[in-house]
């Protein structure tokens, strides 16, 4: 099998020291997706579908989640050049070009990646991605001679004249794979940090009279995440992008700033979303849907012309079908609410089917868990479940059946039957006044004793 034209090396071995986290920084989530996965998605959109992901020892056990991409472990963190060396030594990259990107830089766009790769197509041995931040500070500088990059100098090793250069190094580069492998093996660590800098390969390229070019990328695409504050900034950036895209696609967000979307949230047209609504991963919304705010959804589907909320929670496995209603303070998990059914308030529906045009009264609970297993409640089309009904699963309520308010359903209810709990009500006339007097006397006695 022939190798692709370009293989990406994704540097993802960094620890979360500044985040004070046991979770590697590239595995922290943006819009429900690990930071590194945003990078992999951009690579795929740029036409690069093979990557070597360099992990630290702490994430070595997560190799399977990166399939079909290859993973290698950098057991010693000796710098970016060392990380690339580890990746290339462990993989057969053949004649492929190598693109080096960073797993903590989630916003790099496919268009920018393609622009950088264009230099290789024009014959440059290497090309680097630069940018011009307002405050360069500790970024390495690209030292250029016309179109040629002569070297990259780290800020810690730079002279005052070099620090005055505004064009900074993003760390992203593409190079002839065979040349890059030789260059990373020639790296030395005689620098301020005692690390093997990938940036030094540019000096090797120049020493061999190879062409080395640069592309200037947008600053906002090269934002790196090192701290939880950075993560919060990145979340704000990506949420604003998703909100803008949703509104451009025909969604009304009553208060965009309080609406939180996931990387895979999908909407139909003419959807209205109320404030303080959170869409977790795996949510699909149909057209002409009304979401009344203060809702939380995850791995759920809402069909056309449905109404949900306010204060509704749809958990994984929930499907609310066309024209169904889910109201305030309703929680639904792994259940199907069929066309036109209504679950309007103060209810828990779990592991269930609510049939077409059925009505669920306030305070209904499907008792789906017996401490060992989850069981199904099946409510038929047109059924009417009275307020404060408890349905003890597994149980079936037939089409058109009715349960009385306050009923505990432990046995199946046939079609068009009425089920009630036969417990006679007893009225003890005239006893309420005496009862209140008795309770007051007890309370007064306790107060005196204390």
Instruction: List active site positions.
Output: 345
Query: With the CA atoms of 238, 305, 346 and 366 taken in that order, what torsion angle do they form, in degrees rounded to the nearest 10?
Result: -100
User: Hey, how many other C-beta atoms are within 10 angstroms of the C-beta on 220?
Assistant: 10
Distance separating alpha carbons of residues 63 and 264, to the nearest angstrom: 23
Distance separating alpha carbons of residues 442 and 450, to the nearest angstrom: 13
User: Can you read off the two tokens belonging to residue 251?
Assistant: 């969604």
Distance separating alpha carbons of residues 8 and 48, to the nearest angstrom: 7
3-state secondary structure the chain: CCCCCEEEEEEECCCCCCCCCCCCHHHCEECCEEHHHHHHHHHHHCCCCCEEEEECHHHHHHHHHHCCCEEEECCCCCCHHHHHHHHHHHCCCCCCEEEEEECCCCCCCHHHHHHHHHHHHCCCCEEEEEECCCCCCCCCEEEEECCEEEEEECHHHCCHHHHCCCCEEEEEEEECHHHHHHHHHCCCCCCCCCCCCHHHHHHHHHHCCCCEEEEECCHHHHCCCCCHHHHHHHHHHHHHHHHHHHHHCCEEECCHHHEECCCCCECCCCEEECCCEEECCCCEECCCCEECCCCEECCEEECCCCEECCCEEECCCEEECCCCEEEEEEEEEEEEECCCCEEEEEEEEEEEEECCCCEECCCCEEECECCCCECCEEECCCCEECCCCEEECCEEECCCCEECCCCEECCCECCCCEECCCCCCCCCCCCHHHHHHHHHHHHHHHHHHC
User: Can you read off the two tokens belonging to residue 83?
Assistant: 């990380």
Task: Give the chain's radius of gyration (CA, Å).
Answer: 31
Angle between the 228-248 and 35-45 helix axes, to the nearest 10 degrees? 50
Q: Determine whether 449 is exposed, middle or buried from the number of CB atoms within 10 Å of its CB (0-12, 13-18, 19+).
A: exposed
């Amino acid at each position: 099998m022939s190798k692709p034209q370009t293989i990406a090396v994704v540097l993802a071995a960094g620890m979360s020291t500044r985040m004070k986290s046991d979770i590697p920084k590239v595995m922290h989530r943006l819009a429900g997706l690990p930071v590194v996965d945003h990078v992999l998605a951009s690579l795929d959109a740029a036409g690069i579908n093979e990557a070597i992901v360099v992990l630290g020892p702490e994430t070595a056990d997560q190799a399977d989640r990166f399939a079909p991409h290859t993973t290698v472990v950098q057991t010693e963190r000796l710098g970016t050049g060392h990380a690339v060396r580890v990746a290339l030594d462990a993989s057969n990259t053949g004649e492929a070009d190598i693109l080096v990107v960073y797993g903590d830089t989630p916003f790099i766009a496919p268009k920018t990646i393609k622009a950088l790769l264009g230099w290789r197509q024009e014959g440059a041995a290497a090309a680097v991605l630069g940018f011009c931040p307002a405050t360069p500070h500790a970024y390495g500088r690209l030292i250029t001679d016309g179109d040629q990059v002569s070297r990259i100098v780290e800020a810690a090793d730079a002279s005052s004249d070099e620090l005055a250069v505004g064009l900074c190094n993003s760390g992203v580069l593409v190079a002839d794979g065979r040349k890059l492998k030789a260059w990373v093996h020639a790296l030395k660590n005689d620098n301020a940090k005692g690390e093997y800098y990938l940036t030094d390969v540019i000096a090797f390229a120049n020493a061999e009279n190879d062409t080395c070019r640069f592309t200037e990328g947008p600053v906002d695409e090269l934002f790196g995440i090192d701290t939880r504050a950075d993560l919060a900034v990145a979340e704000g950036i990506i949420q604003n992008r998703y909100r803008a895209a949703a509104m451009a696609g025909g969604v009304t967000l009553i208060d965009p700033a309080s609406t939180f979307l996931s990387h895979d949230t999908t909407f139909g047209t003419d959807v209205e979303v109320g404030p303080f609504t959170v869409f977790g991963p795996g949510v699909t919304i149909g057209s002409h849907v009304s979401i009344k705010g203060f809702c939380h959804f995850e791995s759920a589907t809402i069909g056309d012309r449905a109404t949900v909320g306010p204060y509704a929670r749809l958990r994984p496995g929930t499907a609310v079908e066309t024209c169904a209603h889910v109201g305030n303070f309703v929680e639904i998990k792994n259940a199907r609410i069929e066309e036109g059914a209504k679950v309007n308030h103060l209810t828990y529906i779990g592991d269930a089917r609510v049939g077409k045009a059925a009505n669920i009264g306030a305070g209904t609970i499907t008792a789906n868990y017996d401490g060992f297993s989850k069981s199904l409640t099946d409510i038929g089309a047109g059924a009417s479940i009275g307020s404060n009904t408890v349905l003890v699963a597994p149980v079936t309520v037939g089409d058109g059946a009715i349960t009385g308010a306050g009923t505990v359903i432990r046995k199946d209810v046939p079609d068009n039957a009425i089920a009630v709990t036969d417990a006679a009500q007893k009225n003890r006339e005239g006893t309420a006044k005496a009862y209140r007097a008795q309770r007051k006397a007890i309370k007064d006695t306790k107060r005196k004793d204390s």
